[in-house]
Amino acid sequence: MQIANEDHYEGWHITTECWENKPADWKPFDPIPYAARALLQLLRHDQFEQGWAATATCSIPDVGERHFVDWPDAHAVLKAEARTLINTWKK
């Protein structure tokens, strides 16, 4: 199962993806581990003093994925991190 969620914030398109990441020794009734990542894509480059290109992208984490035990939590945590990162860039 893979679940994607989309959001927009301050001119950025934020997509979070989450999928089951069961180890080989996983057994029924064990918690289902999830892997997740976020992709940020700049939609409006005119809001940033640095002159970002309209195709600017960023991912969280930079490489690979993060691991969670709850997929709604995965989306919420990654979206919050994305918004914090965007706010840092705007300063």
pLDDT in tens, 17-57: 999 999 999 999 999 999 999 999 987 655 556 655 556 78
Structure tokens at 67: 């691991």
Query: What predicted TM-score, i.e. pTM, was given to this entire model?
Result: 0.80
The mean pLDDT of 56-82, rounded to a whole number, is 91
Model pLDDT, residue 90: 79
List, as one string, the DSSP characters of 2-65. EEEEEEEETTEEEEEEEEE---TT--TTSPPPEEEEEEEEES-GGG-TT---TT-EEEESSSS-
User: How far is CA 27 from each of CA 21, 24, 30, 31, rounded to the nearest angstrom?
Assistant: 13, 9, 6, 9
Please state the φ and ψ torsions of residue 48, each to the nearest 5 degrees.
-115, 130
Q: What is the mean pLDDT of residues 1-24?
A: 89
Q: What is the pLDDT of residue 11?
A: 84
pLDDT at 43: 78
